[in-house]
Amino acid sequence: MELADAFLLWQDIGLLLYATLKAFLPLPSLEVMLVPLCLSQPSHWILYSLEGALGTCVGGMIGYAISYRYGRRALRHLANEKEMNKGEELMQRYGLWAVFIGGITPIPDFLLAYLAGLSRMNLWRFSLCDGLARLLRSLLVCYMFNRLGILLDFDQIGIWLSVLVVVWLLLRYFKQKRDSHSKDE
């Protein structure tokens, strides 16, 4: 197996693993994986959508189970008491609608899983609703970047974007250095 073949195999496993972990841990949004994958291989956008949705569904069930088992102790390192009360109230008031709307928006989904477990929402209803919402979001994101990947030359754009970021960082560095030097005088 060549290195390129190994990477192609591991990118799918990596996406699935990342999607699972980010559904119950405070990690950056799934788009940090979906966007580069869809841009590098636009024809695989449906596969990436399904992998992302499956991973977040499994991860959501894990987060739900942790919160169901350990209650508020599971959330203490993620939210304060006031935030937990507000989240639990929203879950009890809106139920599956809160899960669905939270699932298609950039709200951190690991919080949804913990709050669903904390409020004792039905696991299967939660998982179905969360999985459907995440699938819809993944399909939308992947389709959008599939279209962009076909229309634009992202290799060329990436080079210019990298140059702009480096120039911006240098300008910022020299400005901070100049500002700190003028304060010292």
Based on the domain organization, do 178 and 135 belong to the same domain?
no
Token pair belonging to 137 = 């979001």
How many degrees, rounded to 5, is the angle at CA 154 between CA 170 and CA 4?
Answer: 105
Q: Would the pTM of this model clear 0.75, i.e. be above it?
A: no
Residues 6 or more apart whose CB falls under 8 angstroms from that of 81 comprise 72
Q: Which tokens go with 101?
A: 């709307």
Query: Which residue range forms the structural domain that includes residue 185?
Result: 153-185
Residues 85, 162 share a domain: no
**In this structure, are 173 and 134 located in the same domain?**
no
> Are residues 174 and 130 both part of a single domain?
no
- What local confidence, expressed as pLDDT, does residue 150 receive? 57
pLDDT tens digits, one per residue of 136-159: 988 988 888 877 765 555 555 556
Asked if residue 112 and residue 42 are part of one domain, the reply reads yes
Which tokens go with 142? 């992947």
Confidence grade of residue 6 (pLDDT, cut at 50, 70, 90): low
Residue 113 and residue 28 share a domain: yes
DSSP-derived 3-state class of residue 24: coil
pLDDT of 3 above 60: no
Are both 159 and 182 inside the same structural domain? yes
Average pLDDT over residues 58-70: 92
Residue 46: both structure tokens together: 């449906």
Q: How many domains does the chain have?
A: 2
> Do 139 and 166 meet the contact criterion of CB atoms below 8 Å apart?
no
Residue 55 is predicted with a pLDDT of: 92
